[in-house]
Amino acid sequence: MPSLRYIRRVNQQEPSPAMPPQIPVRLQRYEGTAVPPRRKFWLHPASGLLVLGVDWLFFAPEAVTFEAAAIITSPLAFLITFTGVFWIQRQKNGDTFGTAALKALLGGFVAAIPTSIAGTIFGTLVLTLSGLSNWNQRRDGK
């Protein structure tokens, strides 16, 4: 429904030298407040958290066994991350099948790297693409 706009002039009499000039008054009625759209990142924030979480979870057994467990943990990390990211991208982000599969493939490969990605360019890439790099600024309202 279009918003209604009324303009009414106060003091409809002729201005005299002793009277101040007429001031236009604008009355507006708004049906609802406009909420700014949420910025959509390439990767959903939950997908970014999943990639980093699975990577951190599977890094400990790899570190303890001096990468001997990587034969088991890398494919398992890939499978868990691929499935989770695909589901999140389809359900929460509304991506198409092909786009969600591509993002899930990328997330699975990054999580399956047999080392922690936390301080690397891959970790930075995941944080940036999912919008988690500025999480504190969004929560504080800055």
- Evaluate whether residue 115 is within a structural domain: yes
* pTM of the model as a whole: 0.65
Main-chain dihedrals φ then ψ at residue 22, nearest 5 degrees: -70, 145
> For residue 72, what are the domain limits?
45-133
- Cα separation, 75 vs 87, in Å, equals 18
pLDDT of residue 138: 54
Task: Please give the full DSSP string across 98-117, using - where no structure is assigned.
Answer: HHHHHHHHHHHHHHHSSS--
Q: Average pLDDT in the 96-109 region?
A: 94
- Evaluate whether residue 93 is within a structural domain: yes
| 124 confidence band (pLDDT: 50, 70, 90) | confident
- Evaluate whether residue 66 is within a structural domain: yes
Per-residue pLDDT at 142 exceeds 50: no
Work out how many domains the chain is built from and give that number: 1
